[in-house]
Structures are given as structure tokens and as C-alpha cells.
């Protein structure tokens, strides 16, 4: 499938599944040759076509597409530079996760699904204005070399994976975990931490044993 078609469908999914509103949020993929495909700035996802997608090199040289790319292009490119295994990035504006980003807090791996999908504790990146290289660097720092998601202070979330399906899975699990954590906090409760040993065991299980043989 044309990577631009992947982005068009992902944009519709971003809206349909409630991960953002209006034209906020952005999405990108990286192909096997290293080219980055990214959504255009400020366009309605329901109206976007393949011709609206922008294709560029990792050093930000446009290969095709006449539209202005997402304001967060630097963020996407810096994550790709820092994490070679990442091939898809979804920047969302989810409600529950953003609550914790506004407080500058991390979301711990409190449920099995989070341990399996999120890679590590979901940290909040220090605040920087949208579209700045500072925000991009803060995001890379918050993701580190293990986590598949981070929060942007007072802004939203960034979810990464080896493909678009995986990035949306991370986004879903992150928001579900945030909702559970929110409810625990709202009743004045405390969660029982998962041990590092069990987290590693679940991640190994997902990587090596879960699902059907490939």
C-alpha cells in the first residue's frame, strides 16, 4: 500500500476513535528507504487525499507534496533519528492522558496491557511551544530508548511503534491506562505496582510467544 494512503486512513481513524478534535494531532510513517511521510498542517482529516500528504527525507528536504507539512515535523523527524526501530508516530490529543500531562506527571505501568504495550513508564516532556525544535528534543528525551509513548506537557501524547497499527495500539492502551489511573486517583486510592520482573516477563511473552507464529 502507498504510505500516503496509510496516512489518509490513519487521519480518519484519529478523528473517528476520539484521539483528537478538528485538525489537531499529526501522523507520520517512515518507509524502508528512510523517507518520511507526514500529514499536512491544519487540514481536515476527513477531506485529506494522498496528494495532500508530504514526503521528505530525514533531514527535512521535501521529496513530494505541495502542502505545508505538520507544524510538528521536527518532532517526528527527531524521534525517527533517535529511535531507528520506529516506523510510525501518532501525535494525539486524548482527554485522560492530557490531564496528567497538564500536571506534569508520569503514567505508570499499572495494568498488564500497559506493561505489554507501552514499553516503560510514560513520562511527561518539559513544556515547550508547539512546533519548536525544543519541544522535539524534550519529546525525544521523555521517550528515551525504551518507552513507546510520552506526554507533552499541557499538550497531548506521542505514541510510536514499528508500524501504524502498532502506534494506534499504543495510543489506545495509553488512554485506557490513563483512565484507570485517573479513577484510582479520583477515589483516593493507591495502585499496587507491577514488579519489574513481571513487566519484563510480559514484554518477553508478547514479543516471543503471544499470537500465532509468523
Q: Taking Cα atoms as reference points, which of 1, 81, 8 lies closest to residue 38? A: 8
Give 3-state DSSP helix, strand, coil % of the chain, rounded to 5.
40, 15, 45
CA dist 48 and 145 (Å) reads 33
CB 203 within 8 Å of CB 115: yes
CA dist 189 and 185 (Å) reads 6
Task: Say if strands 124-125 and 26-30 run parallel, antiparallel, or are unpaired.
Answer: unpaired
Beta bridge partners of residue 122, listed in sequence order: 107
- Catalytic residues, which ones? 72
Amino acid at each position: 500500500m502507498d504510505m500516503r494512503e496509510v496516512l489518509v486512513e490513519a487521519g480518519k481513524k484519529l478523528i473517528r476513535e476520539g484521539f483528537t478534535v478538528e485538525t489537531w494531532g499529526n501522523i507520520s510513517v517512515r518507509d524502508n528507504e528512510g523517507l518520511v511521510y507526514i500529514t499536512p498542517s491544519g487540514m481536515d482529516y476527513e477531506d485529506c487525499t494522498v496528494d495532500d500528504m508530504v514526503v521528505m527525507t530525514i533531514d527535512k528536504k521535501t521529496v513530494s507534496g505541495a502542502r505545508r507539512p505538520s507544524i510538528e515535523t521536527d518532532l517526528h523527524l527527531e524521534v525517527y533519528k533517535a529511535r531507528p526501530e520506529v516506523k510510525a508516530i501518532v501525535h494525539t490529543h486524548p482527554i485522560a492522558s492530557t490531564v496528567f500531562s497538564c500536571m506534569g506527571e508520569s503514567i505508570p505501568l499499572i495494568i498488564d496491557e500497559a506493561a505489554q504495550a507501552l514499553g516503560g513508564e510514560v513520562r511527561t516532556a518539559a513544556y515547550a511551544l508547539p512546533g519548536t525544535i525544543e519541544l522535539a528534543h524534550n519529546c525525544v528525551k521523555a521517550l528515551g530508548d525504551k518507552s513507546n509513548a510520552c506526554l507533552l506537557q499541557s499538550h497531548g501524547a506521542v505514541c510510536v511503534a514499528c508500524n501504524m497499527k502498532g502506534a494506534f495500539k499504543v495510543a489506545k492502551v495509553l488512554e485506557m491506562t490513563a483512565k484507570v489511573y485517573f479513577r484510582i486517583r479520583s477515589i483516593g486510592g493507591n495502585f499496587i505496582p507491577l514488579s519489574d520482573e513481571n513487566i519484563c516477563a510480559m514484554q518477553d511473552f508478547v514479543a516471543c510467544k503471544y499470537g500465532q507464529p509468523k
